[in-house]
Structure 1
Amino acid sequence: MATQVVMPKLSPTMEEGQLARWLKKEGDKVGIGEPLAEIDTDKATMEAQALATGVLRKIFVQAGETVPLGAIIAIIAEPDEDISALLSKAESGASSEENKQSIQASVQAGGDGAQVELARVVPDGARTVATIKGEPLAGDVGGAPTQQQTPPPPQPQTPPAGKADEPPATPVASGNGQGQQPTSGVRLIVSPIAARMAAEAGINLQALSGTGPGGRIVKRDIEAAISAGGQQQAAPAQPSTAPPPQPATTPQTETPPEVPTVVSPPQTQAAPKPAVDGASAYRDEPVSTMRSTIARRLSSSIGPVPHFFLTTEIEMDRAAELRRSLNELEAELKISLNDLIIKAAAVALIQHPMVNASFQDKSLRFYERADIGVAVAIDEGLITPVIRSADRKSVGQIGREVRELAERARARKLTPEEYTGATFSISNLGMFGIDEFTAVINPPEAAILAVGASTPKPVVRDGQVSVRQIMRVTMSCDHRVVDGATGAKFLQTLKKILENPLLLMA
């Protein structure tokens, strides 16, 4: 039975998805559980597996294209099965909305066939089927190499010259899926922003060693190459050393060997002439799926959520001393001040349940545990991995989880369960020297804590002036849930705990 493959819902906040790359091409056999495609969601790149068996007969959505949930992206059927009705239905787009309404079903019976959602999703890079120098090569696919769904270039009328040396590894942009896989199975993994920067700066990606997870070339690698003064810029093409062509004896009947091509970065607008003489030139770049989601969610937060802000100062000398003592006793702990702040906030939330709550239209929802979202900056935007039940965990446990989740977030390997469902969030910009700022609430949470730098300041105590490490924090509150006095009492408790951090050990 023919099946329609539709864009799945891979995270609670996902409304559309970008097809990063196909792991199968038209005409390939597909089995249940086989990796079919990589999807860029609003938070991560996910590898999706098929829930139907047959042949990938038709692909509608190409690598780099973004479509809404429920949109038909491919058809799987038997080799000789008539799919004309499904082709007409898919090309008209008539079924996209009905698919979206039933997106939670994995397999649904339909008039012309079943609708199959890409399912059994695992984070990008979780599969490993090839190695390079003993290191796993994340995201590779066994079998035939993935090909870009575009027509091949015209073939020459005369047979090609003798086989030249094996071409170098081909960069593959892991975020947009453009470019072809080399037949040797060896490839470079490049983030979209790194590919774009390299193209603009003329950097030869093949000369770089990636410092990202699994050897991925990321933004900082390109910046380092640029800072090196262009030492790794692309070299001019060398003349071929292949032997002279041999005269043709028979017409060519076999497809010539596939030659890898360098990945094409996302298209950008050519720099137009400024509208005003003397004004700066500019360029327009497509908005990433993650950045679009950030813009949409924060805009929706500022509108319907009535924010108000409370700021206080906290003396961090004792907290800093406790941190030093713990790290000296056990170097493996690597506790940071932020870990202490997370633990203190979690304890305070349990004592002030109104702050550990959310507005649910006709009810208020109170949470039994403190699940703390910790803002992490990544190349593509911002994500908040969640420390579950932080009130029940030690500072050491919190520190380990924060480091592990932050690393997975930067590698875009978080699962939806790891970055959704927080009851309270913390955003810390103190490491950048920011003294004070306000943050936007992440609905449906009722509050978010913005943490500034801890800096030495003069403080008057009993008529005496002394220097203390002062940290300013600002809490953004949803006034539908948290009143001014409620928020102030929460901050008082947080201040008391951090100024007397041995309370965390009680």
Structure 2
Amino acid sequence: MGEFRMPSLGADMETGTLVEWLVAPGTLVRRGDIIATVETQKGLFEIEIFEEGILGEPLIQAGQEVPVGTVLALIHAANGSAVKKDAVSDQPKSAPERFICSPSARRLAREMGVDLATIHGTGPKGAIQRIDIEHAAQTRIPPAVESAKHARTEPASHETLRQGMRQAIAAAMSRSNSEIPHYYLEMEIDMSRSLQWLEVENQKRTIRERLLPAVLLLKAVAKALRDIPEFNGYWLDNQLQIKTEIHIGFAVALRQGGLITPAIHAVDSLSLTALMKAMSDLIERTRSGRLRSSEMTDATVTVTNLGDQGVRTVFGVIYPPQVALIAFGRITERPWAEGGMLGIRRCVTATLAADHRATDGHRGSQFLEVLNKHLQQPESL
């Protein structure tokens, strides 16, 4: 028998609110299935399960705020009598009290304040579709009357989330500054060769397939981490724990304010095309509140890029228990002397914030030099 617990979605998270169970008791669940949504100070997240079995009765109900690690439900061993999932709805046929509705449609219903109990689905086997929810939102009774009839858990407003996020970030950064002995290094990197290669490569692609310079930066960081792995890992139990997987936390600015750093998984193994798709998808889902719990917990290092804000140099603060943060500023034309000749090159300032308990300045300078080397060979990225 396993336990499904309130996950920790960051070093600053102490509690979470269970917003909704997406799977009914008695359902056969498998590793990677999304079975609940949880709200924290940073927003609403889809929570995955990491074992296979039959979901037991909820021990925590929707609307309850509980500490990280609290058991939300038990997972029983699967056997021949397991309830089968409905092929259309991903909900058990034996649970008539549940609505045949995808997680995407459920999110839309929450965002638009629509009660699923009032909707007649027009999809296969009566499944509630997004168009049904949009139609219901146009014709529903006033929210004040609806709220009096149906009590339900609603996600917090943007302003509440923004304030909560600022508090969460402040707590995490205070902890980082008090616990982690930072050291900083910076290097000017000539991006001319990479950008020239990128321009030629993009001419071969359709507009939708074109690559952004950020993709080259991310891939170069991943390759540098493969060469010098001490910056890819965690400081736990008073020692450095190097991770073999390279999951890069990519800082994304939210429309309502604040930053969040979900992980792009296995960056070193992705092609540039796949990495571009993964990055675009992650940004879109981050800003629409559709992140998975693993994307908030798996990052082994963080990369931030404030170049689009006009910033030239970024001095980041490490997010514990990680041991490094790599930051990039704006790519600009700058004077560049080489071989006794002075010219103009397109350059970027790369900075490394690192944990002095895990590495030192000598190793940090080697990392930046290896990063530079990879960016001078864009065709090999």
Give the counterpart of 1:9 among 6, 9, 17: 6
Q: Report the secondary structure of 2:279's partner residue.
A: helix
Post-superposition Cα deviations, 1:95-127, rounded to whole Å, max 9, x if no partner, equal xxxxx77x135159xxxxxxxxxxx9xxx9824
The amino acid of 2:157's aligned partner reads P
Greater RCO (Cα-Cα under 8 Å, separation 6 or more) = 2
Listed as ranges, the matches of 1:266-277 within 5 Å are none
What's the counterpart of residue 409 of structure 1? Answer: 286
Indicate the structure with greater helix content.
Answer: 2
Q: Is the 8 A contact 1:311 1:474 kept in 2?
A: yes
C-alpha separation in 2, matches of 1:31 and 1:360:
37
For structure 1, the residue ranges without an aligned partner over 5 or more in a row are 1-6, 24-29, 62-66, 71-99, 109-119, 146-165, 173-177, 197-265, 267-285
Q: Residue 292 of structure 1 aligns to which amino acid in structure 2?
A: Q
Report what 1:192 is aligned to. 157
Q: Choose which of 306, 312, 315 in structure 1 pairs with 2:181.
A: 306
Q: Tell me the equivalent position of 1:431.
A: 308
User: Deviation of residue 448 (structure 1)?
Assistant: 0.4
Show structure 2 runs of 5+ residues with no match: 28-34, 48-54, 76-90, 92-100, 120-135
SS of corresponding position for 2:318 = coil
Distance verdict in 2 for CA 1:348–1:412, change over 3 Å: same
Kindly state the Cα deviation for residue 366 of structure 1 after the two structures are TM-superposed.
Answer: 1.4
1:368 to 237, 244, 250: 244
Q: What pairs up with 1:30-429 in 2 under 5 angstroms?
A: 32=25, 39-46=38-45, 52=57, 69-70=66-67, 103-104=70-71, 106-107=73-74, 126-128=103-105, 140-144=114-118, 181=146, 192-193=157-158, 288-331=163-206, 332-378=208-254, 379-429=256-306
Shift of 1:447: 0.6
**Partners of 1:315 and 1:494 in 2: how far apart?**
11
TM-score (norm 2): 0.70
| CA-to-aligned-CA distance 1:351-370 (integer Å, 9 cap, x gap) | 00112232222432112232
Retained in 1: the 8 A contact 2:5–2:72? no
Quote how far apart the aligned CAs of 1:19 are.
Answer: 6.9
Letter in 2 for 1:326: E
Q: Percent identity?
A: 28
- Where 2:350 maps in the other structure, the secondary structure is strand
Contact 2:39–2:155 (8 Å) recurs in 1: no
Q: Quick check: which has more Rg, 1 or 2?
A: 1
Q: Residue type of the partner of 1:106?
A: A
SS at match of 1:128: helix
Alpha-carbon offset, residue 444 of structure 1 = 1.4
- Specify the SS of the correspondent of 2:320: coil
Contact 2:328–2:348, Cα closer than 8 Å, also in 1: yes
Range with greater deviation from structure 2 (38-47 or 485-494): 38-47
Q: Give the C-alpha shift of residue 425 in structure 1.
A: 1.0
| CA–CA separation in structure 2 for the residues paired with 1:404 and 1:167 | 27
SS at match of 2:373: helix
Tell whether the 8 Å contact from 2:114 to 2:140 is kept in structure 1 after alignment. Answer: no
CA contact (8 A) 2:223 2:268 kept: yes
Contact map agreement 1:326 1:333 (CA 8 A) in 2? no
* C-alpha deviation, 1:467, in angstroms: 0.6
Structure 1 length-normalised TM: 0.54
With over 3 angstroms needed to count, the CA separation of the structure-2 counterparts of 1:434 and 1:170, relative to structure 1, is: farther
1:314–1:471 contact (8 Å) kept in structure 2: yes
TM-aligned CA distance change 1:298 to 1:32, over 3 Å: same
- Structure 1 CA distance for aligned equivalents of residues 297 and 275 of structure 2: 17
1:442-482 Cα deviation digits (max 9, x unpaired): 11111101100010111122222211011111110000111
The 1:370–1:432 alpha-carbon spacing in structure 2 relative to 1, beyond 3 Å, is same
Instruction: Name the count of aligned residue pairs.
Output: 316
Q: CA deviation at 1:403?
A: 0.2
Say whether residues 1:492 and 2:369 are aligned partners: yes
